[in-house]
Amino acid sequence: MTMPPYKIRADLKVNGGDRMLCLMATDNEKPEHLGLKLAAYLSFWEEEMTVDAGAKHPALAGGEYLPDLLGVDATGQVAIWVECGNTTLNKLAKVQRRWPDARLVVFKEDLPRARRLRMDLDGELPRPERVEIYCWPERTFAEWMRCLSEKTHVCGEAGGGLFNLVVNERVYATDLVKA
């Protein structure tokens, strides 16, 4: 059994496009978080998201928090804010207030975690319906993680939580569930 990677150098040939992406774990970041980020990036392939946008990103000026992935509109304003794995309700509430027109999306490993977050959002957050939550059905997140390695080659089609891919010579096809 191979260990999950703490660094992913991905060669992506998806939807007719060709990109390279390097994800490196920071501080206490787990490999599963990198797997979530890669999947989120593929889900938003057409939007050309910025991964781990820093505090110096113009769209985030004066903001208190940073997203895992960031999409901006033609005017450079925050259009899509993506969180992967655990996040706080406080963070989501502040992002919602600061960028009221931005799409807020959270990627979770499985349906129980996604449902738990949805229940927490429904009880605590104003306009909880604005937060989209995507998760893997059943045990498919573990399958996704088994496909990944430090050098990851991905080809196929992806977008909107739908994956029809070959990842490191393994076929990987799944549709994420919206919770």
- Please give the helix or strand (H or E) that residue 22 lies within, else none: strand 17-24
Average pLDDT on 71-91 reads 96
The closest of 74, 140, 9, 18 to 161, measured between CA atoms, is 140
pLDDT per position as a tens digit, 39-48: 999 999 999 8
Q: Please indicate, yes or no, whether the overall pTM of this predicted structure exceeds 0.85.
A: yes
Q: Tokens standing for 61?
A: 């000026």
Q: Which 3 state secondary structure label does DSSP give 177?
A: strand
With the C-alpha atoms ordered 46, 22, 82, 113, is the resulting torsion angle positive or negative?
positive
- Here the CATH number for the domain that contains residue 151 is 3.10.640.10
Number of domains in the chain: 1
- Which residues span the domain enclosing 130? 7-178
pLDDT per position as a tens digit, 90-128: 999 999 999 999 999 999 999 999 999 999 999 888 889
- 172 part of a folded domain: yes
Confidence check: pLDDT of 3 > 70: no
Buried b (16+ CB within 10 A) or exposed e, 24-61: eeeeebebbbbbbbbbbbbbbbebebbbebeeebebbe
The closest of 167, 159, 115, 104 to 137, measured between CA atoms, is 115
- 46 part of a folded domain: yes
- 102 part of a folded domain: yes
- Mean pLDDT (the chain, rounded): 94
